[in-house]
Amino acid sequence: MEAKSLSSFKELTEELKKQKRSYLLLYKKNSSQSESAQTNYLKAISSVSDIGVYMADVGSVKDIHPVYTVTTVPALLEFQGDQLQNIYRGAHDTAYYNSLFEGAVYTARTEKAGKKVKNVTVYTTPSCSWCMTLKSYLRKNGVRFSEIDVSKDENAAREMLNKSGQKGVPQTSVNGSMVIGFDRQKLDRLLEIKDS
């Protein structure tokens, strides 16, 4: 996929109406930081589909950045429909942009399939073998999740204990419902995984 270069705020608003999720990279030509961001952004979108990806040079397109009070570039604007969700400031590496796009693509495909996106958090520690098994299982089934290492985050460990009454890991929160250990049947039911 290629990023479409925009020439005006009007064109941006028309494009945003076509997509549920979109990203716009604001950059300035001949700026080393902007060129780095642009190169990494273009690498990351090469395998992206199901989301809108756009670019605009603030040196020639002067009516977009003031609307969103962007005063420094590069900046990546994330939209849901025509609503601004986030602004990621600065130049980032390709992996950073990839992770943003993978999450957006997963959400877009899940919604397209008529499913609700599940909010999944896995509480782990580095030495836990069942944690690795659980994360592999979720990845194999295309489940997006965030991971919290409770050995490094005391507040998260306390939060996990308050939610489940248990200290052991792995624990998984699926839309607020806690799953202790690698309880495959409960995970399958909560995540709507069939024939795994």
Please tell me the predicted confidence (pLDDT) of residue 152: 87
Least Cα distance to 170 among 129, 126, 124, 119 occurs for 124
Q: Is the model more confident about 113 or about 44? A: 44
Q: Are 36 and 89 in contact (CB under 8 A)?
A: no
3-state secondary structure of 128: coil
| Spatial separation of the C-alpha atoms in residues 119 and 108, rounded to whole Å | 14
Every domain of the chain and the residues it spans: 4-112, 120-191
100 phi and psi angles, rounded to 5 deg: -60, -50
Residues in CB range of 113: below 8 A, 6 or more apart: none
Above 70 in pLDDT, residue 4? yes
CA distances from 167 to 21, 41, 126 (A): 38, 41, 15
Residue pair 135/126 in contact by the 8 Å Cβ criterion: no
Pick the CATH number of 120-191 from 3.40.640.10, 3.40.630.10, 3.20.20.140, 3.40.30.10: 3.40.30.10
pTM above 0.85, yes or no: no
Q: Give the mean model confidence (pLDDT) for residues 29-44.
A: 93
Amino acid in the structure at residue 185: Q
CATH classification code of 4-112: 3.40.30.10
How long a stretch of residues is the chain?
Answer: 196
Provide the pLDDT for residue 178.
Answer: 95
The predicted-structure confidence for 132-170, as pLDDT tens digits, reads as follows: 999 989 888 878 788 889 998 888 899 899 999 999 999
Would 4-112 and 120-191 be classified into the same CATH topology? Answer: yes
**106 — pLDDT class (breaks 50, 70, 90):** low
pLDDT digits (tens, 9 = 90+) for 164-187: 999 999 999 998 899 999 999 999
